């Protein structure tokens, strides 16, 4: 089932999500707060849960609690799920922490850090980590609104191109 | 006999000699105050290391290699210099002023210092000089070997950096050893 979810992302398959309409307020220290449970299961089955946890705790969270705007994203997703403005797309983002991808059932918006991000019916909505935001300055909040494509590649945050910096071949 | 180091009395600022042994109190011969010398920033081998980089080595059980590299290849068996500590103070000042932001990235070479990005044009004050930077440029502490490599007079590198895939120890840099290969 996880393979179907990962590759096809179709909602016909029963899937789990990182947030639900009745989720409690997010815990700033919960390392799994932004991980799709199906992704976590996949890594557990592969015997790589320890590596994933290390990656999330240090490369994604930078050894600190989740930032206020990241927690705000989760609260907004909870609100939108309750309002049935978005639903589980049945897939997750290809980079850790492997957050759930949501699909807009109707036009709407999220407000994070006083900034309003609008989306249209059919758009995909997914959490974006700090490293991705550093690499894509056009992302002004921890969220990507786009029409996403399936991929069979997955990677840890610490393996992203922006995890380390240098001067190219001069070093 | 142990080599004596110069320290300052925290009460009156008088210059004192210390045998370098932590955990033993020192009495100031000028004002008579008694104090316990603590490890200073200059002694902290991890002073420049991004905690995320350190966590990577720890996870891979290679923290001792990194520590050895910092202690001997980066510090050359010595301590952080006054200019190194000035770098940290200046980057903290710029961050507080909202002129730079710490990225979720660290330098690919040990001691793997954190990388900052300029949020506006500004100047980096160090060693009596004002190094200009532009919005979007990135800033990192530069080890002595990096300074040799790029002819940097001060321990700071300001440039447009590239993503790096390979994590290296300082002793693995291309100019860690030199020879005449004719």
Are the C-beta atoms of residues A144 and A125 closer than 8 Å to each other?
yes
* More confident position, B32 or A126: A126
Contacts by A114-119, CB closer than 8 A, 24 or more apart: A115/A140, A115/A141, A117/A141, A117/A143, A117/A145, A118/A145, A119/A145
Residue A56 lies in a domain: yes
Query: Which of these ranges, A36-40, A110-114, A125-129, B43-47, has the smallest mean pLDDT?
Result: B43-47
Residue B16 shares a structural domain with residue B92: no
Are the C-beta atoms of residues B100 and B107 closer than 8 Å to each other?
no
C-alpha span between B181 and B164 (Å, rounded): 29
Residue A23 lies in a domain: no
pLDDT in tens, B122-175: 999 999 999 999 999 999 999 988 898 889 999 999 999 999 988 999 888 755
Residue B181 lies in a domain: no
What ipTM was assigned to the predicted interfaces of this complex? 0.82
Chain A: nearest CA to B176, how far in angstroms?
10
Residue B20 shares a structural domain with residue B59: no
Residue B113 shares a structural domain with residue B24: no
Chain B: nearest CA to A168, how far in angstroms?
6
Instruction: Report how many helices (DSSP H) and strands (DSSP E) chain A contains, helices first.
Output: 5, 7
Residue B23 shares a structural domain with residue B74: no
Residue B11 shares a structural domain with residue B59: no
Interface test with B, best of A157, A160, A164 (most B CBs within 10 A): A164
Residue B165 lies in a domain: yes
- Residue A130: the pLDDT is 95
Burial zone of B109 (CB within 10 Å; 0-12 exposed, 13-18 middle, 19+ buried) = buried
The mean pLDDT of B65-93, rounded to a whole number, is 93
Distance linking the first and last C-alpha atoms of chain B: 46
- Residue A5: the pLDDT is 55
- Cβ-based contacts of A59 with chain B (< 8 Å): 52, 104
Residue A80 lies in a domain: yes
- Total domains in chain A come to 1
Q: Do B115 and A129 touch (CB under 8 A)?
A: no
Residue B126 lies in a domain: yes
Residue B182 lies in a domain: no
The mean pLDDT of B69-88, rounded to a whole number, is 92
Instruction: Report how many helices (DSSP H) and strands (DSSP E) chain B contains, helices first.
Output: 4, 11
pLDDT of B177 over the 80 cut: no
Residue B32 shares a structural domain with residue B53: no
Q: Do B117 and A168 touch (CB under 8 A)?
A: no
- Residue A110: the pLDDT is 96
C-alpha span between A34 and A127 (Å, rounded): 8
Closest in B52, B55, B163 to A165, CB measured: B163
Residue B19 lies in a domain: yes
Residue A164 lies in a domain: no
Local confidence band at A168 (pLDDT 50, 70, 90 cut-offs)? confident
Burial zone of A62 (CB within 10 Å; 0-12 exposed, 13-18 middle, 19+ buried) = buried
**DSSP per residue over B116-164, as a string?**
EEESS-EEEEETTEEEEE-TT-EEEE--HHHHHHHT-SSSEEEE--EE-
Q: Do A171 and B109 touch (CB under 8 A)?
A: yes
> B22 to each of A95, B42, B45, B79, how far by Cα in Å?
46, 14, 16, 16
- Residue A1: the pLDDT is 46
Residue B158 shares a structural domain with residue B111: yes
Question: A162 — alpha (psi -120 to 50), left (phi > 0) or beta?
Answer: alpha
- Mean residue pLDDT of chain B comes to 88
Beta carbon pairs, A and B, within 8 Å: 81
Closest in B59, B103, B108 to A166, CB measured: B108
C-alpha span between B179 and B182 (Å, rounded): 9
Q: Which residue does chain B place closest to A160, by CA atoms?
A: B165
Residue B177 lies in a domain: no
Burial zone of A49 (CB within 10 Å; 0-12 exposed, 13-18 middle, 19+ buried) = middle
Beta partners for B126? B129
Residue A69 lies in a domain: yes
The mean pLDDT of A71-85, rounded to a whole number, is 97
Q: Say which DSSP state A149 is in.
A: -
- Mean residue pLDDT of chain A comes to 91
- Cβ-based contacts of A163 with chain B (< 8 Å): 104-106, 163
For B137, the token pair is 């440029």
Give the predicted TM-score (pTM) of the model: 0.81
Range of the domain at B93: 43-172
Chain B: nearest CA to A105, how far in angstroms?
33
Q: Do A171 and B168 touch (CB under 8 A)?
A: yes
Residue B51 shares a structural domain with residue B23: no
C-alpha span between B52 and A158 (Å, rounded): 10
- Residue B174: the pLDDT is 59
Chain B: nearest CA to A60, how far in angstroms?
8
Residue A112 lies in a domain: yes
- Cβ-based contacts of A63 with chain B (< 8 Å): 51-52, 55
Residue A153 lies in a domain: yes
Residue B77 shares a structural domain with residue B116: yes
Residue B94 shares a structural domain with residue B117: yes
pLDDT in tens, B42-71: 678 999 999 999 999 999 999 999 999 999
Local confidence band at A131 (pLDDT 50, 70, 90 cut-offs)? very high
Range of the domain at A112: 32-157
For B146, the token pair is 């990096």
* More confident position, B123 or A171: B123
Local confidence band at A89 (pLDDT 50, 70, 90 cut-offs)? very high
Residue A119 lies in a domain: yes
- Residue B38: the pLDDT is 66
Residue B78 shares a structural domain with residue B163: yes
Residue B116 shares a structural domain with residue B142: yes
Residue B65 lies in a domain: yes
- Total domains in chain B come to 2
- Residue A128: the pLDDT is 97
SS3 label, residue B18: strand
Query: Which of these ranges, A95-104, B116-125, B170-179, has the smallest mean pLDDT?
Result: B170-179
Q: Which of A80, A84, A63 is nearest to A130 (CA)?
A: A63
């Amino acid at each position: 089932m996880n393979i179907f979810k990962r590759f096809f992302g179709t909602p016909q398959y029963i899937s789990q999500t990182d947030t639900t309409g009745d989720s409690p307020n997010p815990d700033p220290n919960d390392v799994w707060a932004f991980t799709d449970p199906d992704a976590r299961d996949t890594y557990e089955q592969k015997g790589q849960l320890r590596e994933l946890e290390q990656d999330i705790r240090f490369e994604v969270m930078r050894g600190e609690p989740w930032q206020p705007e990241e927690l705000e994203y989760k609260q907004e997703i909870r609100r939108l799920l309750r309002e049935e403005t978005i639903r589980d797309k049945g897939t997750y983002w290809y980079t850790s922490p492997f957050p759930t991808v949501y699909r807009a059932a109707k036009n709407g918006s999220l407000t994070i850090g006083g900034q309003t991000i609008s989306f249209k019916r059919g758009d995909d909505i997914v959490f974006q980590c700090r490293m991705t935001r550093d690499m894509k300055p056009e992302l002004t909040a921890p969220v990507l609104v786009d029409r996403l494509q399936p991929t069979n590649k997955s990677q840890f945050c610490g393996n992203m191109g922006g995890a380390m910096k240098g001067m190219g071949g001069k070093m | 006999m142990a080599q004596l180091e110069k320290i300052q009395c925290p009460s009156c600022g008088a210059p004192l000699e210390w045998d370098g042994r932590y955990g033993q109190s020192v009495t100031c011969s000028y004002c008579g105050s008694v104090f316990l010398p603590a490890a200073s920033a200059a002694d902290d081998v991890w002073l420049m290391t991004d905690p995320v980089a350190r966590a990577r080595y720890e996870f891979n059980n290679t923290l001792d290699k990194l520590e050895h590299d910092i202690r001997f290849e980066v510090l050359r068996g010595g301590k952080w210099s006054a200019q190194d500590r000035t770098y940290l103070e200046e980057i903290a000042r710029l961050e507080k002023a909202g002129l730079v932001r710490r990225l979720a990235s660290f330098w690919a070479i040990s001691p793997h210092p954190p990388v900052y990005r300029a949020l506006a044009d500004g100047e980096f004050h160090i060693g009596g000089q004002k190094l200009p930077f532009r919005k979007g440029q990135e800033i990192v502490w530069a080890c002595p070997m990096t300074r040799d490599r790029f002819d940097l007079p001060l321990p700071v590198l300001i440039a447009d950096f590239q993503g790096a895939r390979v994590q290296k120890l300082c002793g693995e840099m291309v100019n860690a050893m030199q020879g005449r290969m004719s």
